[in-house]
C-alpha cells in the first residue's frame, strides 16, 4: 500500500486528529513535522489556500499529487479509499449525530484550546517558546528563538478576539469547558467512545483538540487532571488504536445511545448553535463582525465564511436523510438546543 505524505505540527489539534485516525485505520503514512509551506514549495506543489494543518498529498483527477487540507472531507475520502476499520457509522441517523459532534469538536472545542493557549500568560509563554522549536527544520539559537517567540505570541494574542476570546468571555469559555469536560467524563463511565465500543470520526475530532488541552497547555491540563481522569486516560488510548479489534466491535444504535451523550449535545445547543446561526446571518448581510448574547454574556467575534459553510454542510447532511431518519434525529436531539440549526 502506498504511503500517504502528511505535513503538520505537533501542537496542531487537526494534525493530531488525522495522525491518530491514520493509525487506527492502519493506513501507512510519513509525517513531516514543521515548515509545511517550505516543504511543499520544495516539492513544487501548488499551495492550498489557505495553508492549514495538516496537509495531505492526495492524487487529483489528473493522477497528480495535490496538497489537500480540511480534515472532515479528507476523512470521507479515506473512508472510500480505505473501507476497512470504518469511522463513519453505517446507520444514517447515527452518522448524522457523528457528523454534528465532529463539527462540534473541530469548530467549538477548538475555541477552548485557542483561548487557554493564548489568553493565559503561563500557557502563552509555553506555546510561544515551543512552537518555533517544533516548526523550524533547523536549530535556533537563543536570540532567534526569542525573536520568533515574541512574533508568534504577539500575533496569536492579537487574534484572540477573532475567535471570540476576550476578558469579557473568558469566564463563559472556562465554564463551558468545565461543563463539557464533566459531561464527557461522565459519558466515559458508561462506554469507551462516543458511540460505543469503537471510535468514530467524532472521537478523533474530540481527540485532536483535547489532546492539546490534556497534554500541552498548562491551565486546561491541570483542570483536566483534577476533574476528568477518564478523559485523560481516553486521550492516552486514542493516541494509537491500531491494535483495537474493531472488526468484532460495534457502534450502539441511536435509540440506545446513553443520555450522557445528550448532555454533551446540550453544550453544543447552548454555546455553539447560537454562534453558528449568528455568524451565518452576518455572512449573509456582509457584516465584518457580529455579537450575540450567550448564557447571559455578550459574545463578539469576526465573521467567518467557513463556519457559515459548516452550518450549510450540517444542513445538507440532515436534508440528505430519509424522512424516517430525519424524524429519528429530531427525536434524539429534542431539548438539546441542537434542533434550532436544522432546516
Q: CATH code at 74?
A: 3.40.30.10
* Domain shared by 215 and 246, yes or no: yes
d(CA 333, CA 91): 16
Residue 185 scores a pLDDT above 90? yes
Q: Please give the full DSSP string across 100-111, using - where no structure is assigned.
A: HHHHHIIIIIHH
299 with 292: CB under 8 angstroms? yes
Domain annotation covers residue 38:
yes
The reply to whether 199 and 320 lie within a common domain is: yes
Average pLDDT over every residue of 26-50: 95
Instruction: List the one residue out of 66, 118, 103, 8 whose CA is nearest residue 341.
Output: 103
pLDDT at 41: 95
pTM above 0.85, yes or no: yes
Residue 42 lies in a domain: yes
Of 55, 81, 107, the last residue of a domain is 81
d(CA 210, CA 253): 26
User: Has residue 149 been placed in a domain?
Assistant: no
215 with 110, same domain?
yes
* Peptide bond preceding 54 in cis form (omega within 30 of 0): yes
Model confidence at 169: pLDDT above 90: yes
Pair 328, 301: CB distance under 8 Å: no
**What's the confidence (pLDDT) of residue 93?**
98
CA 46 vs CA 34, 38, 251: distances in Å: 18, 12, 40
Count of C-beta atoms within a 10 Å radius of residue 225: 12
Give the model's confidence band at 1: pLDDT under 50 very low, under 70 low, under 90 confident, else very high: confident
Interatomic CA distance for residues 5 and 267, integer angstroms: 36
Q: Would residue 127 count as lying in a domain?
A: no
Q: What is the mean pLDDT of residues 85-110?
A: 98
pLDDT at position 136 is 86
Q: What φ, ψ does residue 48 adopt, rounded to 5°? A: -65, 155
On whether both 50 and 100 belong to a single domain, the answer is: no
229 and 175 in a common domain? yes
Give, as one character, the DSSP assignment of residue 253.
Answer: P
Measured CA angle at 174 (ends 20, 258), to 5 deg: 55
Query: Per the domain annotation, does 135 fall within a domain?
Result: no
Query: Same structural domain for residues 98 and 218?
Result: yes
pLDDT recorded at residue 336: 98
Domain check: are 196 and 64 in the same one? no
Of residues 223, 250, 247, 224, the one with CA closest to residue 235: 224
CA pseudo-torsion sign 22, 6, 207, 317: negative
Cα 17 from chain centroid? 7
Supply the mean pLDDT for the chain.
96
Task: Using the 3D structure, point to which of 81, 108, 136 is the last residue of a domain.
Answer: 81
Tens digit of each residue's pLDDT (9 = 90 or more) over 114-139: 999 999 999 999 999 999 999 987 89
Instruction: Tell which of 81, 110, 126 closes a domain.
Output: 81
170, 225: one domain: yes
Q: Mean of the pLDDT values across residues 253-263? A: 93
Based on the fold, state whether residues 180 and 74 are members of the same structural domain. no
Q: Verify that 70 and 169 share a domain, yes or no.
A: no
Q: How far is CA 272 from CA 9, 112, 123, 173, 294, in A?
A: 27, 12, 24, 11, 9
Kindly state whether residue 138 falls inside one of the protein's structural domains. no
**188 and 336 together in one domain:** yes
Residue 112 is assigned to a structural domain of this protein: yes
Q: What is d(CA 332, CA 81) in angstroms, rounded to the nearest whole number?
A: 31
Question: Band of the pLDDT at 20, cuts 50, 70, 90?
Answer: very high
Mean pLDDT of 96-119: 98
Band of the pLDDT at 241, cuts 50, 70, 90? very high
Average pLDDT over residues 211-224: 98
Q: Identify whether 44 is part of a domain.
A: yes
Q: What percent of the chain has pLDDT over 70?
A: 100
* 140 vs 148: CA distance, rounded Å: 9
> What confidence tens digit (pLDDT) does each residue in 311-342 have?
999 999 999 999 999 999 999 999 999 999 99
Same domain (yes/no): 28, 114? no
Domain extent for 43: 4-81
Beta bridge partners of 174: none
pLDDT (mean) for 152-177: 96
pLDDT at 138: 87
**Per-residue pLDDT band at 147 (split at 50, 70, 90):** very high
Q: Rounded mean pLDDT of 196-218? A: 98
Domain total in the chain = 2
Using the predicted structure, report yes or no on whether residue 343 has a pLDDT greater than 90. Answer: no
Amino acid at each position: 500500500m502506498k504511503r500517504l505524505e502528511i505535513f503538520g505540527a505537533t501542537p496542531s489539534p487537526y494534525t493530531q486528529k488525522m495522525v491518530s485516525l491514520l493509525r487506527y485505520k492502519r493506513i501507512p503514512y510519513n509525517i513531516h513535522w514543521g515548515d509545511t509551506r517550505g516543504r511543499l514549495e520544495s516539492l513544487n506543489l501548488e499551495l492550498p489556500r489557505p495553508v492549514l494543518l495538516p496537509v495531505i498529498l492526495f492524487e487529483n483527477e489528473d493522477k497528480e499529487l495535490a496538497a489537500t487540507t480540511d480534515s472532515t472531507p479528507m476523512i470521507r475520502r479515506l473512508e472510500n479509499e480505505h473501507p476497512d476499520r470504518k469511522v463513519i457509522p453505517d446507520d444514517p441517523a447515527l452518522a448524522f449525530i457523528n457528523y454534528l459532534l465532529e463539527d462540534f469538536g473541530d469548530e467549538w472545542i477548538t475555541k477552548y484550546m485557542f483561548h487557554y493557549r493564548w489568553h493565559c500568560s503561563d500557557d502563552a509563554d509555553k506555546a510561544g517558546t515551543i512552537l518555533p522549536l517544533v516548526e523550524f527544520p533547523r536549530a535556533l539559537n537563543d536570540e532567534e528563538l526569542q525573536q520568533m517567540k515574541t512574533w508568534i505570541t504577539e500575533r496569536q494574542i492579537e487574534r484572540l478576539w477573532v475567535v471570540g476570546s476576550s476578558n469579557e468571555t473568558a469566564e463563559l469559555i472556562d465554564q463551558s469547558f468545565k461543563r463539557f469536560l464533566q459531561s464527557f467524563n461522565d459519558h466515559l463511565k458508561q462506554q469507551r467512545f462516543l458511540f460505543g465500543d469503537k471510535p468514530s470520526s467524532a472521537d478523533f475530532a474530540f481527540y485532536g483538540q483535547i489532546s492539546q488541552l490534556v497534554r500541552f497547555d498548562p491551565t486546561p491540563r491541570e483542570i483536566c487532571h483534577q476533574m476528568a481522569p477518564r478523559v485523560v486516560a481516553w486521550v492516552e488510548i486514542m493516541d494509537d488504536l491500531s491494535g483495537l479489534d474493531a472488526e468484532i466491535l460495534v457502534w450502539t444504535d441511536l435509540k440506545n445511545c446513553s443520555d450522557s451523550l445528550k448532555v454533551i449535545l446540550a453544550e453544543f445547543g447552548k454555546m455553539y448553535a447560537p454562534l453558528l446561526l449568528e455568524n451565518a446571518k452576518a455572512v449573509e448581510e456582509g457584516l465584518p463582525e457580529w455579537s450575540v448574547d450567550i448564557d447571559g454574556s455578550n459574545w463578539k467575534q469576526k465573521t467567518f465564511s467557513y463556519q457559515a459553510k459548516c452550518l450549510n454542510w450540517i444542513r445538507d447532511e440532515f436534508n440528505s436523510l430519509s424522512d424516517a431518519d430525519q424524524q429519528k434525529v429530531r427525536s434524539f436531539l429534542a431539548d438539546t438546543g441542537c434542533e434550532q440549526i436544522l432546516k
